[in-house]
Amino acid sequence: MAIRVVRLTSADVERFRQVRVEGLRSDPIGFRYSEAEDAAVGTAVWAARLDLDFVVAALREGSDEILGVGGFSRLAGDKLSHKGLIWGMYVRAASRGTGASDAILEALIAHARLHVRQLQLTVIADNARARMFYERHGFVAYATEPDAVQQGDEYRDELSMWLRLAER
């Protein structure tokens, strides 16, 4: 499938949130936030975040249909700004395994290379598909936090992963 990756801005806030809410419902394991918590974040806050961070969507070539999304943000502070965070990776079920996720992450990594020395992310330890996906892109797990995320009565371990982009 031919895929195009575009940067989303505040003008895309409604359609971005539609896809994100779908993900929070269908794949809660992929997110650190509950649907209710995410909904409580107002549209204005999300719009500002889209302009501040670097958030991209994979679109089917020739269409505006969003297949998936992912975000990059740079950490703040003199001592931390060499690092960036990959967040909100979500590809709609029908578009998994098509290369849409690769196109999103490659765009985020290419952008990150211009700004930071290394990337970090977290993934629920038993989210095997996501973990393999990140490993394929060079991310390495460096820590496991036991019982990091609570969902109802269940607690799940979370892996911290990182990717070095440059020696500087």
Ligand X SMILES: CC(C)(COP(=O)(O)OP(=O)(O)OC[C@H]1O[C@@H](n2cnc3c(N)ncnc32)[C@H](O)[C@@H]1OP(=O)(O)O)[C@@H](O)C(=O)NCCC(=O)NCCS
Contact of 49 with 9, CB cutoff 8 Å: no
Stretch that binds ligand X, among 2-10, 38-46, 57-65, 90-98 (CB under 6 A): 90-98
Among 16, 46, 90, 139, binds ligand X (CB under 6 A): 90
* Minimum gap (Å) between residue 18 Cβ and ligand X: 15
| 5 binding ligand X? (CB under 6 A) | no
Task: Give the footprint of ligand X on residues 91-110 (CB under 6 A).
Answer: 91, 96-97, 101
| 136 binding ligand X? (CB under 6 A) | yes
* Minimum gap (Å) between residue 25 Cβ and ligand X: 11
Residue 31 CB burial class (10 angstroms; 0-12, 13-18, ≥19)? buried
* Minimum gap (Å) between residue 64 Cβ and ligand X: 20
**How many residues in the shown chain lie near ligand X by CB under 6 A?**
18
Alpha carbon distance 68, 130 (integer Å)? 14
Alpha carbon distance 121, 110 (integer Å)? 16
Stretch that binds ligand X, among 51-59, 88-96, 142-150, 151-159 (CB under 6 A): 88-96
Task: Give the footprint of ligand X on residues 142-161 (CB under 6 A).
Answer: none
* Minimum gap (Å) between residue 96 Cβ and ligand X: 3
> What is the DSSP secondary-structure string of 55-113?
EEEEEETTS--EEEEEEEEEPPSTTTTTEEEEEEEEE-GGGTTTTHHHHHHHHHHHHHH
End-to-end Cα separation, the chain, in angstroms: 37
